[in-house]
Amino acid sequence: MMEFVGPGLNILSKVLPLLTKEKDPLKQGYYVCMSAYNFAVKEVLKQAKEDKKLEGADFRVLEATDEFISPKNLENVNMSGFTLQGALSHSFINYADETLNKLAPNYGINTTQIDRLMTDIHSSFSRNLLLVLTDAKTAEKVEGFRNLMILDNSQLQLQEVLETVCKEKIKKLGGTDLWL
């Protein structure tokens, strides 16, 4: 019998061994965010391939993006001050976007094409990050990073996460979220 692997575990699959060992919440944050970003890039590029939006692109880039997650890149990003609300304006996103813009031309994707996809990549990143932070199977693996964000950003952020999770669960059950 095949065990179901939830979306949060899919996103973190490349870094689970690193997260198991890592106790530093800032390093956990790096692995979590890079995994969510990497997964977002793959989702958006796969859709662009299906929609034939990237003519002439070498889609081996989908595997090359795994390089984002490398522990050697930890020194390039300071994860302190990271929040869910400010995720897209944090220096992490700048670093990840710059890395993608440097990598893409090696695979026949120019920066103009990537710029057109960036809104979708950022949207997917935010959704993936929220999934990882709230999924029952992954939340405990990233508890240090979750706690750091809550300490840095008060109960308001926790409230936002809980409301989003409730809305998603209600929609899955076919209900309405009007009471939130």
Residues, the chain: 180
pLDDT in the model for residue 159? 56
pLDDT in the model for residue 5? 40
Mean pLDDT of 18-45: 86
69 vs 21: which has the higher pLDDT: 21
What 4-8 contacts at long range (C-beta under 8 Å, 24+ apart), as own/partner pairs, is 6/135, 6/136, 6/137, 6/138, 7/131, 7/135, 8/131, 8/132, 8/134, 8/135, 8/137, 8/138, 8/139
Mean pLDDT of 153-171: 58
pLDDT in the model for residue 126? 92
Task: Tell me the pLDDT tens digit for each residue of 35-93.
Answer: 899 889 988 988 888 888 888 888 777 777 776 666 677 778 888 888 888 889 999 99
pLDDT in the model for residue 153? 52
Q: Where do the domains of the chain lie?
A: 7-172
Structure tokens at 69: 């997650």
pLDDT in the model for residue 155? 47
pLDDT in the model for residue 88? 93
Task: Tell me the pLDDT tens digit for each residue of 98-156.
Answer: 888 888 888 888 888 888 899 999 999 998 898 888 887 788 888 888 888 765 554 44
